[in-house]
Chains A and B, each alone.
Chain A
Amino acid sequence: MEKDEILQFVKQMKPRDHVIMFHSNREDKHQVLFTYLKAGLDQGEAAAYVASEETPDEIRQAMRRFGIDVDGLERRGALRVIDYRDWYIVEGKFSATETIDRWKKLYEDAVAKRFKGLRITGETACFFDKRMVKELVEYDKALHRVLEIPMAAICVYDSGVVANERGGELYLDLIKAHSTVIIVGPEGGVVKSH
Chain B
Amino acid sequence: MAQSTTIEDAMFQATDHGLLALGEIVRETIYHRLESTCQVKREEIPEKLDTFHKALQGMLGAGAKVIEKQIAKNLYSRLDLDFTEHSNWTIVEYFDHAKKAKGGR
Chain A residues at the B interface, C-beta cutoff of 8 Å: 1, 22-25, 159-160, 162-164, 167-168, 171-172, 175-176, 181, 183-194
Indicate if the CB atoms of A1 and B29 lie closer than 8 Å.
Answer: yes
Chain B contact residues: over half helix, strand or loop, or mixed?
helix
In the complex, what's the smallest C-beta–C-beta distance from B57 to chain A, in angstroms? Answer: 7
Q: Which of A24, A181, A188, A192 contacts B62 (CB 8 A)?
A: A24
In the complex, what's the smallest C-beta–C-beta distance from A74 to chain B, in angstroms? Answer: 32
Taking A171-B63, A172-B21, A176-B21 as given, write out 13 further A-B residue pairs in contact, using a Cβ cutoff of 8 Å, ordered by the A residue number: A22-B61, A22-B63, A24-B61, A159-B62, A163-B62, A163-B65, A183-B22, A183-B63, A185-B58, A188-B58, A190-B59, A192-B25, A192-B26
> Which of B21, B63, B64, B85 has the most chain A CB atoms closer than 10 A to its own CB?
B63
Q: Would you call B51 an interface residue if the criterion is a C-beta within 8 Å of the partner chain's C-beta atoms?
A: no
CA–CA, A1 and B28, complex, Å: 11
A-B contact count (CB 8 A): 77
Indicate if the CB atoms of B66 and A168 lie closer than 8 Å.
Answer: yes
Chain B interface extent, by class: 20 to 34
CA–CA, A189 and B66, complex, Å: 16
Q: Would you call B70 an interface residue if the criterion is a C-beta within 8 Å of the partner chain's C-beta atoms?
A: yes
Q: Which of B57, B58, B66 contacts A172 (CB 8 A)?
A: B66
In the complex, what's the smallest C-beta–C-beta distance from B74 to chain A, in angstroms? Answer: 13
CA–CA, A185 and B30, complex, Å: 12
